[in-house]
């Protein structure tokens, strides 16, 4: 019997590890659960941030109360941000909802230059130089996108670059459902 325990224990351990590995193959690494989903958005931390002076009349976060809006965390240093940027420009041109840009750990000069070259889809750009606001929002890395409803509740979070498929199949239907 002692021999069976010695032989069976490593086999059982191997089977448990194999099961967890196989189970993880079905998961999308971009599907990172957020504790903010269906909770109040920490919008107040955005109020204290400096606004990038690209717009003559920058939208303030408190002006978004009662609206559905998008928060996009980006940086001029972020290659994934460059990939999704044309899609954000297109979404902004549709006028479906205001998009707030959170320039994360980036300098105002580099952010301004990047937006001048690639276009500015944002109703306002907030500078999170130290990354403190991103921490409150639970940001893992750039880009990340959040959809906030008119009651200031986070309804959607996407980690990584947005794609046309994600916008058309997930984000747009959710926006249309949340807008009156």
pLDDT in tens, 101-132: 999 999 999 999 999 999 999 998 999 999 99
Q: What's the pLDDT band for 168 if we cut at 50, 70, 90?
A: very high
Digit-coded pLDDT (tens) for 92-101: 999 999 999 9
Omega before 143 cis (within 30°)? Answer: yes
pLDDT (mean) for 10-26: 66
Could you give the CA distance from residue 71 to residue 125 in angstroms, rounded to a whole number?
10
CATH topology of domain 31-178: Glutaredoxin (3.40.30)
Per the CB < 8 A criterion, the answer to whether 174 and 161 are in contact is no
What is the residue extent of each domain of the chain? 31-178
The pTM assigned to this predicted structure is 0.80
What pairing do the DSSP bridges indicate for beta strands 144-148 and 69-74? antiparallel
Q: What are phi and psi of 74, to 5 degrees?
A: -145, 175
The full DSSP string for 100-168 is EEEEES--HHHHHHHHHHH----SEEEEESSSHHHHHTT--SSSEEEEE-TTSBEEEEEES---HHHII
């Amino acid at each position: 019997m002692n021999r069976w325990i010695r032989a069976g224990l490593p086999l059982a351990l191997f089977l448990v590890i194999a099961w967890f590995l196989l189970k993880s193959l079905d998961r999308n690494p971009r599907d990172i659960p957020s504790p903010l989903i269906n909770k109040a958005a920490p919008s107040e931390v955005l109020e204290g941030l400096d606004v990038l002076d690209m717009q003559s009349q920058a939208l303030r976060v408190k002006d978004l109360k009662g609206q559905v809006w998008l928060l996009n965390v980006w940086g001029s240093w972020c290659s994934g941000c460059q990939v999704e940027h044309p899609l954000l420009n297109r979404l902004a041109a549709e006028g479906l909802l205001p998009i707030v840009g959170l320039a994360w750990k980036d300098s105002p000069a580099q952010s301004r230059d990047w937006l001048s070259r690639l276009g500015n889809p944002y109703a306002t750009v907030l500078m999170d130089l130290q990354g403190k606001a991103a921490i409150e929002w639970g940001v893992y890395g750039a880009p990340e996108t959040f959809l906030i409803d008119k009651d200031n509740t986070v309804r959607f979070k996407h980690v990584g670059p947005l794609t046309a498929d994600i916008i058309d199949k997930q984000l747009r239907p959710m926006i249309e459902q949340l807008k009156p």
